[in-house]
Amino acid sequence: MAVAELSGLGLIREKIGANERLDFEDGLTLMESDDVLQLGELADAARRRRGGADEVYFVQNLYLNQTNVCRVKCKFCAFAVTQKQEGAYTYTGAELVEDALRQRELTGFTEIHMVGGESPHVDFDYYVDIIRKLNEAMPEVHLKCFTASEIHHMTKLSGLTHEEVLRELRDAGLGSLPGGGAEVFADRVRRLVAPGKEHPDVWIDTHRTAHGLGIPTHCTMLYGHVETYEERVDHLLRLRDLQDETGGFLAFIPLAFHPENTVFERRGWTFTPGSDDLKLIAVSRLLLDNVPHVKAYWIMMGLPLAQVALHFGADDVQGTVVREEIFHAAGAETETEQKIEELVRVIQAAGRVPVQRDTLYNELRRWE
């Protein structure tokens, strides 16, 4: 067994050296390998072969959630509530602007990352108004807002197509889409963890449409629940296919499933081990040869493991992430904000060069 595994990784090493694209079977070989250190070495070598250097990026950003009221009851979610539940909220555009401006006095964020529930109690104009007001109040801040699932929800509210919804939001000031809502694309997984959500092809089509309108997006995978290795690899290759077609993805963010306060916790699920997080980072970097960046999302894995992930193919630690709520509702015990100085320290301690970026990866500041 060990000999066969080493042989498999050896063949993959040869492919990487020859700049050959890895296929589904290669992905499965990588996922099934227990040699996590060798996976990290392969991923870092592939990253450098594709032009990566010692730079590690981060952005100064603010997280906003416009509402936690949601029509969908995803089994992995501990954030969503109904309108009648205690703690339910839906903020107006004016309230979000007031909050953001108050935060702006404390931190000079260049990006607002905003996602929320799919409330049936608002209309499409509500979303357009939020984007317009935020853009008018802070035109220099990039608005990275709304998952593909939220965009699909807006089509149901408005009767418009995905393209029409995205066009209106773009014209109001939307800069890019985050990658959430992808979960795992496999139909079997979707039926088990998010039975009320739209078909995964809608996520693909929404991002394809955004790319066609000049709206860059991000891509994700939520792993560590009921998916198989085969389904993980299939998900990554579907993302790679779309990137071949459009070139519109800026970065891939693997999201480890947090079971606390969800139905999965009651069924015995626990947090993913760090070795699995590192494996997923490495395999993602190896398979997604056309996506420029892979993020080690410290809010989920913690800064120490994110630091290790920088040697497993990741070249981005996301950002200052002021006030993240969704993953903390599901039991994330990391801080809800990091100072720039701490991110710089962690990156430098990993032997890398910290680079503060904007959302589109334009360099704003470098620490040599």
User: pTM of the entire structure?
Assistant: 0.89
Burial call 291-320: b when 16+ CB within 10 Å, e when fewer:
bbbbbbbbbbbbbebbbbbbbbbbbbbbbb
Q: pLDDT value at position 77?
A: 58
In words, the CATH class of domain 53-366 is: alpha beta
d(CA 51, CA 44) in angstroms, rounded, equals 11
Residue type, 295: K
Residue 214, phi-psi category: left (phi > 0), alpha (psi -120 to 50), beta (remainder): left
Q: Is 133 exposed, middle or buried (0-12, 13-18, 19+ CB in 10 A)?
A: buried
Q: pLDDT value at position 193?
A: 79
Q: What are the sequence ranges of the domains in the chain?
A: 53-366
* Nearest one of 114, 130, 131 to 68, comparing CA atoms: 114
Q: Is 341 exposed, middle or buried (0-12, 13-18, 19+ CB in 10 A)?
A: exposed
Q: pLDDT under 50 in the chain at which residues? A: 1-6, 261-266, 268-269, 324-336
Whose structure tokens read 């014209």?
A: 171
d(CA 304, CA 346) in angstroms, rounded, equals 8
Q: pLDDT value at position 70?
A: 80
